[in-house]
């Protein structure tokens, strides 16, 4: 419910205040179920491939920033808008997983607060693009 | 500790769908950061860090147990409202009728500590309480 309200649907309380999954291009035609399925798949991938950062209570944040494209021509793999980065599009995502290595607490586009883009625990290469000049 | 809690003033914080800016619901510019939370609760208030997860344990029960340990410890110390902020990765809400008590706990603790991170946290909490009290509203602390 937290992920849905805060980072997928964005209820009025969360609008413009929290990061939003966009899955690259506009997702206006996707149903909520489709978006949830995509987020689950993204979470699984971040859990398997991302860098682990302890967050207390035995839980862990996994941060993954896959980067692709053609250098200088195409930049890609935008998964959403990062509220902590002025709403810019980003390829970075964070998922928090409980000590059971199964339950997801939250997940969102962007870095956890308190972690810099150069943190060595991040797997991948974090990038941000402004909405106007983004190349998908 | 990483993470943050954005602070918003909200008339009915336990009903997310009731958000209504015409009733004064709004975000403050205040945000509690991980180090601030950690210093206030673990260094100053000496809250319990909790018990280790046992493989196979029901995860919801595990979290409930962590939350209860934290709350009960701080309630025993005279800080039941502060005790609700048990983790940076969970939302916390206060009804309008509870903001006065939260404010009182923060003011009391402010006099007892010189920890700069804890004082920073308390300063933010106190400012948020005053902002809510201006319109007899509640508060919500929103995790990422």
pLDDT digits (tens, 9 = 90+) for A75-132: 667 899 999 999 999 999 999 999 999 999 999 999 999 999 999 999 999 999 886 5
A50, A136, B35, B114, B144 from A22: Cα distances, Å: 20, 12, 31, 44, 17
Q: What is the pLDDT of residue A136?
A: 46
Residues of chain B in Cβ contact (below 8 Å) with chain A:
1-4, 6, 8, 10, 16-17, 19, 25, 27, 33-35, 49-50, 52-53, 57, 59, 62-63, 66, 87-89, 91, 142-144
Report CB contact under 8 Å: B144, A113. Answer: yes
Of B1, B4, B16, nearest to A56 by CB-CB distance is: B1
Residue B68 lies in a domain: no
Residue boundaries of the structural domains of chain A? 2-129
Is the four-CA dihedral A40, A41, A42, A45 of positive or negative sign? positive
Residue B61 lies in a domain: no
Cα–Cα–Cα angle for A83, A86, A91, nearest 5°? 65
Assess whether pLDDT exceeds 80 at residue A27: no
Report the DSSP beta bridge partners of residue A31.
none
Contacts of B34 in chain A (CB under 8 A): 113-114
Quote ipTM for the complex. Answer: 0.91
Report CB contact under 8 Å: B8, A13. Answer: yes
Dihedral over alpha carbons A4, B31, A52, B39 (to 10 degrees):
-140
- Look up the domain containing B121 and give its range: 4-46+84-143
Residue B38 lies in a domain: yes
How many domains in chain B?
A: 1
Provide the whole-model pTM: 0.92
- What is the CATH number for B92? 3.40.1760
The residue among A12, A24, A2 whose CA lies nearest residue A90 is A24
Contacts of A57 in chain B (CB under 8 A): 50, 63, 66, 87, 89
Q: What is the pLDDT of residue A68?
A: 77
Q: What is the pLDDT of residue A47?
A: 97
Residue B98 lies in a domain: yes
Residue B28 lies in a domain: yes
Contacts of A102 in chain B (CB under 8 A): 59
Q: Which position has the token pair 């602390």?
A: B141
Residues of chain A in Cβ contact (below 8 Å) with chain B:
2, 5-6, 11-14, 17-19, 53, 55-59, 61, 94, 96, 98-100, 102-103, 105-106, 108, 112-115
Contacts of A115 in chain B (CB under 8 A): 2
């Amino acid at each position: 419910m937290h992920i849905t309200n805060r980072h997928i649907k964005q209820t009025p309380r969360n609008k413009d205040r929290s990061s939003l999954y966009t899955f690259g291009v506009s997702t206006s035609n996707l149903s909520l179920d489709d978006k949830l399925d995509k987020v689950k798949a993204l979470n699984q991938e971040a859990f398997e491939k991302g860098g682990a950062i302890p967050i207390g209570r035995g839980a862990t944040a996994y941060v993954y920033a896959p980067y692709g494209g053609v250098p200088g021509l195409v930049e890609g793999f935008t998964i959403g808008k990062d509220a902590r980065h002025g709403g810019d599009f980003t390829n970075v995502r964070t998922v928090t997983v409980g000590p059971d290595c199964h339950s997801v607490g939250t997940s969102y586009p962007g870095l956890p607060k308190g972690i810099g883009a150069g943190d060595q625990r991040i797997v991948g290469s974090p990038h941000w693009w402004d909405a106007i000049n983004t190349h998908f | 500790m990483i993470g943050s809690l954005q602070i918003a003033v909200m008339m009915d914080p336990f009903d997310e769908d009731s958000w209504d800016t015409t009733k004064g619901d709004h975000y403050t510019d205040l945000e509690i950061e991980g180090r601030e939370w950690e210093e206030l609760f673990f260094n100053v208030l000496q809250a319990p860090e909790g018990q280790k997860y046992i493989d196979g344990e029901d995860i919801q029960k595990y979290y409930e147990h962590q939350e209860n340990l934290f709350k009960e410890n701080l309630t025993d110390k005279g800080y039941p409202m502060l005790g609700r902020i048990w983790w940076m990765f969970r939302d916390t809400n206060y009804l309008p009728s509870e903001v006065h008590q939260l404010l009182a706990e923060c003011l009391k603790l402010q006099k007892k500590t010189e920890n700069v991170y804890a004082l920073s946290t308390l300063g933010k909490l106190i400012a948020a309480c005053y902002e809510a009290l201006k319109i007899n509203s509640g508060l919500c602390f929103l995790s990422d």
